[in-house]
């Protein structure tokens, strides 16, 4: 395949993998620091007033900031929020919730993830399951059940993309993913309110 | 993600994949600025991430471009970087310029930097932050896979253009494991 003919292949997967590595390493460091902090608290229960500000800062850093998956999802949210505007800007207005979900599954999914979804199901009460049998992030994993657990963190960013896109389409949602066989992924979309 | 799909209203899948990459990079830089104590620390982290990516991209580039021959001097290296590598992964070519007298140091000038599309760096950060530092790391990592040690840094970075300086240091020899002769 001559890349000059087909156009550039932006190295998104490599960048995505490096971001995951960074978040994982950061979480390990934070866990270690948290243990040290707790041990210090145990050995020094009489806190001087003058150290309170510093301690509050430590508490914020060590306990309140989210874990790796939460942070990856938040990054993806920002990306999805902007992308959907670019993809939808020349389309006619999407009126109903179902129209927006269909747009997500066809135009948006093709533009961002490289293909249409394979299946969209709903209980008509605000829960949708979007199934993609060859989700692009996982296609470089070995197929089957071996890496089902490890795959979860590789989907957090994409869950955020979907949630951000839906939010900018006027739908507040909670998006989670599940994998039974790599590379097939189910995205579970729970609408938070009728739009 | 490289499939070119035709679908309604002229949505350009290739353009969107570039924007996915650019926006993801922007979100990463914003996050690092929040996490780390200084723009200089952000530069170091971006360079490290770029280095790791470059190690892998070198294999990918050679696999996809059989016309790339072994480079015997830095002019050939510069040509491959500017005309093939950057074109393959960022969709732009660079100009090679500002060679030094020994022909072991040059600049890559990107007049339109795809990483910096949609980006405005606040004035208080512009002095120290090298927004596109990941490119320096990627070049260094890729050339290390080709047994070349180089130094890379951003000489100038403006809103849409960037000049990356590449300086050859030495050829990396294969090291023989201890105990082997």
* pLDDT at A42 exceeding the cut of 70: yes
Residue A3 resides in a domain? no
Token pair listed for A78: 């920002």
**Which tops the pLDDT comparison, A58 or A184?**
A184
A84 and A35 fall within a common domain: no
A51 and A85 fall within a common domain: no
State mean pLDDT over B146-162. 86
State mean pLDDT over A108-137. 90
In angstroms, the CA B168 to CA B77 distance is 10
Residues in chain B within 8 Å Cβ distance of A10: 1, 17-18, 20-21, 89-91
A108 and A60 fall within a common domain: no
In angstroms, the CA B145 to CA B47 distance is 16
Residue A86 has its nearest CB partner, among B9, B16, B27, at: B16
Residues in chain B within 8 Å Cβ distance of A3: 64-65, 87-88
Assess B82–A contact: CB distance below 8 Å, yes or no: no
A44 and A91 fall within a common domain: no
Q: Could you tell me if B46 and B29 are in contact, meaning their C-beta atoms sit under 8 angstroms apart?
A: yes
Number of separate domains in chain A: 2
- What is the pLDDT at residue B8? 52
Tell me whether residues A9 and B89 touch, CB distance under 8 A: yes
Token pair listed for B42: 């952000």
Residue A158 resides in a domain? yes
* pLDDT at A94 exceeding the cut of 90: no
- What is the pLDDT at residue A61? 64
A60 and A156 fall within a common domain: no
- What is the pLDDT at residue A172? 92
- What is the pLDDT at residue A74? 94
In angstroms, the CA A72 to CA A161 distance is 10
- What is the pLDDT at residue B11? 62
State mean pLDDT over B119-126. 84
Return the closest-CA partner of residue A157 out of B16, B91, B31, B52.
B31
Task: Write the secondary structure of A92-136 as one string of H (helix), E (strand) and C (coil).
Answer: CCCCCHHHHHHHHHHHHHHHHHCCCCCEEEECCCCEEEEEECCCH
* pLDDT at A1 exceeding the cut of 60: no
A106 and A158 fall within a common domain: yes
CATH number where A166 lies: 3.30.1380.20
Residues in chain B within 8 Å Cβ distance of A76: 27
Task: Identify the domain containing residue A102 by its residue range.
Answer: 76-189
Which residue shows structure tokens 């679908």? B7
A93 and A178 fall within a common domain: yes
* pLDDT at B5 exceeding the cut of 50: no
Q: Could you tell me if A126 and A41 are in contact, meaning their C-beta atoms sit under 8 angstroms apart?
A: no
Spatial neighbors of A170 by CB under 8 A, at least 6 apart, are A100, A195
- What is the pLDDT at residue B120? 77
- What is the pLDDT at residue A6? 56
Assess B155–A contact: CB distance below 8 Å, yes or no: no
**Which tops the pLDDT comparison, A102 or A30?**
A102
Mean pLDDT over each residue of chain B, to the nearest integer: 84
A59 and A80 fall within a common domain: no
Q: Alpha carbon B108 to chain centroid distance?
A: 10
Tens of pLDDT along A61-72?
666 667 898 889
Give the pLDDT band of residue B160 (cuts 50, 70, 90).
confident
Give the pLDDT band of residue B4 (cuts 50, 70, 90).
very low
- What is the pLDDT at residue B10? 60
Give chain B's domains with CATH numbers: 18-171 (3.30.1380.20)
Residue A1 resides in a domain? no
Give the pLDDT band of residue A78 (cuts 50, 70, 90).
confident
Residue A71 resides in a domain? no
**Half-sphere exposure of residue B139, counting CA atoms within 13 Å on the CB side?**
27
Residue A4 resides in a domain? no
Query: Nearest residue of B to residue A88 by CA position?
Result: B11
Helix H or strand E encompassing B143? helix B133-145
Residue A12 has its nearest CB partner, among B4, B21, B49, at: B21
Give the pLDDT band of residue A124 (cuts 50, 70, 90).
confident
* pLDDT at B130 exceeding the cut of 60: yes
Phi, psi (deg, nearest 5) at residue A93: -60, 135
In angstroms, the CA B165 to CA B153 distance is 5
A53-63: burial string, b at 16+ Cβ within 10 Å, e else: eeeeebeeebe
* pLDDT at A83 exceeding the cut of 70: yes
In angstroms, the CA A89 to CA B12 distance is 12
A60 and A154 fall within a common domain: no
Tens of pLDDT along B72-121?
888 889 989 998 999 789 998 898 998 999 889 999 998 888 888 778 78
Residue A153 resides in a domain? yes
State mean pLDDT over A26-44. 80
Q: Could you tell me if A9 and A3 are in contact, meaning their C-beta atoms sit under 8 angstroms apart?
A: yes
**Half-sphere exposure of residue B4, counting CA atoms within 13 Å on the CB side?**
7
Give the pLDDT band of residue B126 (cuts 50, 70, 90).
confident
A94 and A40 fall within a common domain: no
Give the pLDDT band of residue B3 (cuts 50, 70, 90).
very low
Tens of pLDDT along A140-167?
889 898 888 889 999 999 999 999 999 9
Residues in chain A within 8 Å Cβ distance of B118: 82
Residue A70 resides in a domain? no
Residue A152 resides in a domain? yes
Query: Nearest residue of A to residue B23 by CA position?
Result: A79
Assess B115–A contact: CB distance below 8 Å, yes or no: no
Distance in Å, alpha carbon of B175 to nearest chain A alpha carbon:
28
Residues in chain A within 8 Å Cβ distance of B9: 90-91
* pLDDT at B62 exceeding the cut of 60: yes
* pLDDT at B180 exceeding the cut of 70: no
């Amino acid at each position: 395949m001559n890349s000059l003919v087909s156009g550039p292949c932006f190295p998104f997967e490599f960048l995505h993998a490096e971001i995951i590595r960074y978040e994982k390493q950061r979480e390990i460091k934070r866990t270690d620091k948290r243990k040290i902090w707790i041990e210090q608290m145990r050995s020094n229960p009489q806190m001087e007033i003058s150290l309170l500000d510093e301690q509050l800062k430590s508490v914020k850093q060590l306990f309140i900031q989210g874990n790796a998956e939460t942070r990856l999802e938040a990054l993806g949210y920002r990306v999805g929020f902007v992308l959907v505007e670019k993809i939808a800007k020349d389309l006619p207005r999407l009126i109903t919730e179902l129209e927006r979900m269909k747009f997500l599954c066809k135009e948006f999914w093709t533009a961002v993830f490289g293909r249409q979804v394979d299946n969209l199901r709903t209980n008509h009460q605000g829960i949708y399951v979007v199934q993609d049998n060859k989700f692009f992030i996982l296609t470089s994993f070995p197929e089957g059940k071996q890496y089902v657990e490890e795959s979860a963190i590789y989907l957090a960013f994409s869950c955020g993309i979907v949630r951000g896109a839906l939010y900018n389409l006027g739908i507040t949602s909670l998006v989670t993913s599940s994998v039974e066989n790599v590379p097939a992924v189910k995205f579970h979309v729970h609408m938070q309110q009728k739009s | 993600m490289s499939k070119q799909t035709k679908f309604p209203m002229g949505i350009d899948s290739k353009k969107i994949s570039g924007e996915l990459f650019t926006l993801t990079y922007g979100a990463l830089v914003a996050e690092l600025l929040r996490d780390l104590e200084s723009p200089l620390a952000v530069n170091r982290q971006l360079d490290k991430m770029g280095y790791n990516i470059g190690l892998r991209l070198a294999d990918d580039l050679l696999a996809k471009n059989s016309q790339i021959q072994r480079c015997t001097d830095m002019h050939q290296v510069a040509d491959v970087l500017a005309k093939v590598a950057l074109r393959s992964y960022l969709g732009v070519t660079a100009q090679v310029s500002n060679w030094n007298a020994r022909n072991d140091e040059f600049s890559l000038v990107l007049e339109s930097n795809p990483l910096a599309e949609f980006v405005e760096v606040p004035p208080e950060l512009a002095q120290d932050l090298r927004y596109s530092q990941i490119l320096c790391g990627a070049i260094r990592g890729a050339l290390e896979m080709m047994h070349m040690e180089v130094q890379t840094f951003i000489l100038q970075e403006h809103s849409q253009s960037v000049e990356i300086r590449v300086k050859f240091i030495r050829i990396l020899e294969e090291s023989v494991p201890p105990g082997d002769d």
